[in-house]
Amino acid sequence: MLKFDVVVVGAGGAGMMAALSASKDKNLKVAVLSKIFPTRSHTGAAQGGINAAMGYRDNTDSTEKHFRDTVKGSDFLADQDAVEFFTSRMPEIISELDFYGVPFSRDENGHVAQRPFGGASSPRTCYSADKTGHVILHALYEQCLKNKVQFLNEWFLLSVVVENGEFEGLVAMDIREGKIYPIQAKSVVIASGGFGRIYWSRTTNAINMTGDGTAACFEAGIPIKDPEFIQFHPTGLAQTGVLLSEACRGEGGYLINRVGERFMARYAPEKMELGPRDLVSRSIETEIKEGRGFGEGMTSYVLMDLRHLGEKKIMERLPQVRELAMEFEGVDLIKEPVPIRPSCHYTMGGIHVSDFETCSTPIDGIHAAGECCSVSIHGANRLGGNSVADVVLFGKYAGIGAKESAKRRIFGGTTKLEQEATEWNAKFKAIRENTVGTSMFDIRNRLAETMWYNVGIFRTESDMAKALETVDELIEEYKDAYAGDPAEKYNMAFINYVEIGNILKLARAVTMGALNRKESRGSHSRGDYPTRNDEQFLKHTLIYKNGNKYRLEYAPVKITKYQPEERKY
Amino acid sequence: MEKITVKIKRFDGRESYYQKYEVPYEKGKTILWLLTMIREEQDPTLNFTSACRHAICGSCAVQINGNAFLACNTSLDEVLDTYKTMNLTFEPLKNFDVIKDLVIVWEPKMEKMEKVKPWIIPSEKGSNEHGFLQSEEEFHQIAAPTDCILCGVCASECNQLAVNQEGYLEPFILNRAYRYIVDSRDGSPQDHLQPVLENDLWKCLHCMQCVSQCPKSIPLTDQIAYLRSSTMQMGAVNNQGAKHAYAFHDDVKNKGRLNETMLPIKTDGLVQTALTKIPFALRMIKKGKINPLHMPKQISGIHEVRRLYEYAEEVKS
Ligand SMILES: Cc1cc2nc3c(=O)[nH]c(=O)nc-3n(C[C@H](O)[C@H](O)[C@H](O)COP(=O)(O)OP(=O)(O)OC[C@H]3O[C@@H](n4cnc5c(N)ncnc54)[C@H](O)[C@@H]3O)c2cc1C
Ligand code: FES
């Protein structure tokens, strides 16, 4: 049987940081498992930057201010001890990344450059032009090559195996060979990224962001924390969901409906298109809902019109935006408006991390970092630039935590590992042999539609109750859905099948969390409960899965310094 | 309704064959849309890779009618217009091992990349605790080369690589070496440069295919020129490549233009050229890059060219 001291699942920013710190102990056998080649990971998509109070651009900035901004941004749902730990260590991490060769943009003094970002009281977002995540991902990969980290590329995590509360290891598939392996391990770091794909086409996330690690932990008995908090971005391209920069609105773009109105006049007569993200998102969806959008169903949209700015201004100020619209939507902004619609951008919730210093979950030996989990430093709403920061910082500490766990723990039993591998083999065989049933893509699309309309930007009791029913039906239908590829080797249809199973499980948790949180807080906005209710809901949702049963509990939020107050900007 | 006829090279691990699909044309779509339509609506056994769908992850490069493109940022309309056809043939990238259909393997390329130590060798000026100071100017040196998304388009297009997989380095590897050689924070540029020199640096044939197809417009051939002059500065002048440079120099000085047909013969000798360059030359001729029948005459302004040389010599000394 394959055996490692530490296994890291995921090779994005969080996974590679974890691998680098775990493999510092040369006596430990460490492996990184990734379903895609490491540099394809979604961390590469982050453009804007990474937050750290370096104080280079504004010497009045401090880790304390970063702490306060993050807590306020989270609508007071973040755990303040964790946030303080995070903000106070971020400056070191930036220097470490610099030392790893990350090509940061520079200021006139030769320091890492910083820019202002939404929700930040000082300009503290470090960046590399518009490719911050990309260059961090590549530098970390280079460091892994240098340090001879062992990668198992195109290996897919199927399950995390826990027997009587003890972590035993993992079951994973080598996609290229089509073979399923039990893997014994003393500890694991799950760093498998977010699950924005529950909304399928309406997300800025890469197509593989299906929350596999989150679903595997959920299945293994670890609760999911605060899944109902999902961040939406108002301007995703209509066809693909690809993010269209906020700069369009910033530079004075108009939002136009089917009858040619600048409809923001109805919702934010003063600020118009420059209203806050969530308000703009809700306004666009209202227009579509009330029949003033273009197109139909999931492909409906409104227009972002920049033509009045003129060719010169567009070319000067928004050349990249123009190129993006041209490449991905086939539209030249100088001549035509571009179809847009809000898109799911980030999942605040995830695997319940119960100890932020080691990123341990409630099960000894299982650690988690990055978007797949919730520490929680983002609470009900993540600030721009805080996620890549989260990923590298907690990735590092999760790696150290897993290293210590591995030194302390011994290998567990193998019976359940063997048994789960056998079950997955049987499932693989059955899916390959199946020639009938509803197409899995159809199930995926219906899930997205239900989630988008009922557990998306608007949420009400009756809509969400409807969604819960639909999701349950889809989970039933999924069991004998049709994947369509009989091959053993490189069977991506099977992989997609498992991924769709995972988003179904997670979508159910999102819906359940949202239904039960009868208040509006951060990204969770309910028409029937429009205000925040600290008395009842200043607490974390924890959802457990036991077979087909889901159970919901609440856990207290850690408040150390900042008492909740109204969140106004 | 108009249909696009798509022929895709399939490979199941043992055999390869071409399979045909028909897809109704839609305006304003990308190549990735086309492949996804086929997979989701006609044939779930078709495999290709993609992730970000906005030209940053580098997973989706394929060959369309013989040239490499990123599927996600290539407009279907543009491709149909460029090739003036409704028939598209998809193949995996060239110069890579194929796993299945359009899916290629990257690990061997990464092993090769390790030759150039594709990581920073930090100079003494920085530390883990405080990082580095680097000027804006110095950052600009590494801005373009760090745009590389490792999509493999350049390697697929590389005519030298097609005949010299073992000896030559992929353009993206040369780019990685270059990126650290010019990084002010790197303390040991020669450690990246020496392996570049030892791996047929001089064999780049200036066909410019890599640059013209690079989705990030990285100036790969300028970088190669830079690497070459750096190795000459390092004192590596008595190698085949440097001789090539002198031959180049002589050609231009004598005739005012380059004789591409004679150049390999001058540097390698006739027999060697016949043995190794022919398959390559045939490919180049097919692509219209060189004309073997063309024997350059003196251009009219040759005296001006010579004067430029004299001037350059004067300035140098
Ligand atoms: C368009 C866009 C722009 C963004 N911009 C910013 C920004 O400017 N600043 C900011 O702070 N944040 C930004 N974010 C958010 C941020 O990029 C992500 O939250 C973060 O990068 C997630 O990193 P990660 O390491 O957790 O996961 P990822 O980088 O997503 O990596 C996940 C890894 O897990 C692996 N994996 C997943 N499932 C499996 C499985 N079953 N088996 C094996 N391996 C598996 C994958 O192969 C991958 O390697 C942006 C997000 C998007 C979508
Ligand atoms: S899908 Fe990421 S580059 Fe094309």
Q: What is the pLDDT of residues A258-281, one digit of tens each?
A: 999 999 999 999 889 988 788 899
Separation of alpha carbons A176 and B105, rounded Å:
10
pLDDT band at A174 (very low <50, low <70, confident <90, very high): very high
Tens-place pLDDT, residues A182-237? 999 999 999 999 999 999 999 999 999 999 999 999 999 999 999 999 999 999 99
Residue among A516, A562, A495, A426 at smallest CA distance from A158: A495
Residues of chain A with Cβ-Cβ distance to B99 below 8 Å are 176, 489-490
pLDDT attached to residue B252: 60
A493 touches chain B (CB under 8 A): yes
Residue among A83, A49, A41 at smallest CA distance from A63: A83
Contact assignment for A106 to B134 by CB distance below 8 Å: yes
E strand spans, A175-225 = 179-190, 224-225
Residues of chain A with Cβ-Cβ distance to B109 below 8 Å are none
Chain B contacts in chain A segment 145-204 (CB below 8 A): 145-146, 153, 176
Nearest atom, ligand 2, residue B149 CA: 3
Residue among A558, A508, A458, A555 at smallest CA distance from A218: A508
Cα-Cα-Cα-Cα dihedral of B153, B156, B160, B164, to 10°? 130
Lowest mean pLDDT among A284-293, A336-345, B265-274: B265-274
DSSP letter for A203, please: B
**Does the beta carbon of B52 sit less than 6 angstroms from any atom of ligand 2?**
yes
- By Cβ distance, the residue of A110, A129, A492 closest to B47 is A492
pLDDT attached to residue A250: 84
Single-letter residue type at A157: L
Separation of alpha carbons A507 and A443, rounded Å:
13
pLDDT attached to residue A278: 83
Residue among A539, A534, A538, A545 at smallest CA distance from A508: A545
How high is the mean pLDDT of chain A?
96
What average pLDDT does this structure show over A376-403? 97
For a substitution probing ligand 2, which of B33, B60, B64, B106 has the most ligand atoms within 8 Å of its CB? Answer: B60
Please say whether the beta carbons of B227 and B178 come within 8 A: yes
Contact assignment for A37 to B59 by CB distance below 8 Å: yes
Quick check: pTM over 0.80? yes
CA A268 to chain centre: 29
Single-letter residue type at A245: S
pLDDT attached to residue B296: 47
Separation of alpha carbons A517 and A15, rounded Å:
32
Distances from the Cα of A424 to the Cα of A158, A357, A427, A499, A511, angstroms: 8, 34, 5, 14, 28
**A435, burial (CB in 10 Å: exposed 0-12, middle 13-18, buried 19+):** exposed
> What are the residue ranges of helices labelled H in chain B?
31-37, 76-83, 107-113, 136-143, 153-157, 159-163, 171-181, 189-198, 209-213, 220-233, 240-255, 263-268, 270-276, 278-286, 302-316
Separation of alpha carbons A35 and A499, rounded Å:
11
Kindly state the percentage of chain A with pLDDT values over 70: 100
pLDDT attached to residue A569: 64
pLDDT attached to residue B270: 44
A319 touches chain B (CB under 8 A): no
Chain A contacts in chain B segment 9-28 (CB below 8 A): 12-13, 27-28
- By Cβ distance, the residue of B27, B57, B132 closest to A98 is B132
A386 touches chain B (CB under 8 A): no
A134 touches chain B (CB under 8 A): yes
List residues of A with catalytic annotation. 277
**Does the beta carbon of A343 sit less than 6 angstroms from any atom of ligand 1?**
no
Tens-place pLDDT, residues A409-432? 999 999 999 999 999 999 999 999
Separation of alpha carbons B298 and A355, rounded Å:
77
CA A504 to chain centre: 16
Count each helix (H run) and each strand (E run) in chain B, helices first. 15, 7
DSSP letter for A351, please: E
> Is pLDDT of A102 > 90?
yes
For a substitution probing ligand 2, which of B34, B52, B74 has the most ligand atoms within 8 Å of its CB? Answer: B52
B146 touches chain A (CB under 8 A): yes
Domain boundaries, chain B: 3-104, 107-233, 240-316
DSSP letter for A39, please: G
pLDDT attached to residue B255: 60
Separation of alpha carbons A472 and A550, rounded Å:
12
Cα-Cα-Cα-Cα dihedral of A296, A276, B53, B74, to 10°? 80
ipTM over 0.90: yes
Determine the topology of domain B107-233 in CATH. Fumarate Reductase Iron-sulfur Protein; Chain B, domain 2 (1.10.1060)
> Is pLDDT of A248 > 50?
yes
Token pair, residue B182, equals: 């010019």
pLDDT attached to residue B309: 62
- By Cβ distance, the residue of B45, B122, B146 closest to A103 is B146
Separation of alpha carbons A64 and A71, rounded Å:
11
Separation of alpha carbons B105 and B32, rounded Å:
20
Cα torsion B136, B138, B143, B146: sign: negative
Token pair, residue A349, equals: 């919730």
Ligand located closest to A14 CA: 1
CA distance, residue A384 to nearest chain B CA (Å): 19
Please say whether the beta carbons of A23 and A30 come within 8 A: yes
Token pair, residue A375, equals: 């520490």
pLDDT attached to residue A320: 82
What SS3 class is residue A486? Answer: coil
B129 touches chain A (CB under 8 A): yes
Residues of chain B with Cβ-Cβ distance to A484 below 8 Å are 43-45
Residues of chain B with Cβ-Cβ distance to A37 below 8 Å are 59, 106
Separation of alpha carbons B196 and B174, rounded Å:
7
Domains and CATH numbers, chain A: 235-341 (3.90.700.10), 436-538 (1.20.58.100)
Separation of alpha carbons A332 and A69, rounded Å:
38
pLDDT attached to residue A451: 98
What SS3 class is residue B150? Answer: coil
Separation of alpha carbons A466 and A446, rounded Å:
13
Helix (H) or strand (E) holding B158: none
From the CA of A366, how far away is ligand 1's center (Å)? 20
Tens-place pLDDT, residues A52-70? 999 999 999 999 999 999 9
pLDDT attached to residue B269: 46
Residues of chain B with Cβ-Cβ distance to A485 below 8 Å are 44-45
Contact assignment for A106 to B122 by CB distance below 8 Å: no
Separation of alpha carbons A303 and A340, rounded Å:
6
What pLDDT tens digit does each residue of chain B (317 aa) get?
A: 799 999 999 999 999 999 999 999 999 999 999 999 999 999 999 999 999 999 999 999 999 999 999 999 999 999 999 999 999 999 999 999 999 999 999 999 999 999 999 999 999 999 999 999 999 999 999 999 999 999 999 999 999 999 999 999 999 999 999 999 999 999 999 999 999 999 999 999 889 999 999 999 999 999 999 999 999 888 777 676 666 666 666 656 666 555 554 555 445 444 444 444 444 444 444 455 544 444 445 555 666 666 666 666 665 54
From the CA of A199, how far away is ligand 1's center (Å)? 16
CATH label, B3-104, candidates 2.60.40.420, 3.50.4.10, 2.60.40.10, 3.10.20.30: 3.10.20.30
- By Cβ distance, the residue of A105, A109, A492 closest to B139 is A105
Distances from the Cα of B84 to the Cα of A15, A455, A541, B18, B78, angstroms: 46, 46, 58, 21, 9
With DSSP H G I counted as helix, E B as strand and the rest as coil, what are the percentages for chain A, rounded to 5?
A: 40, 20, 40
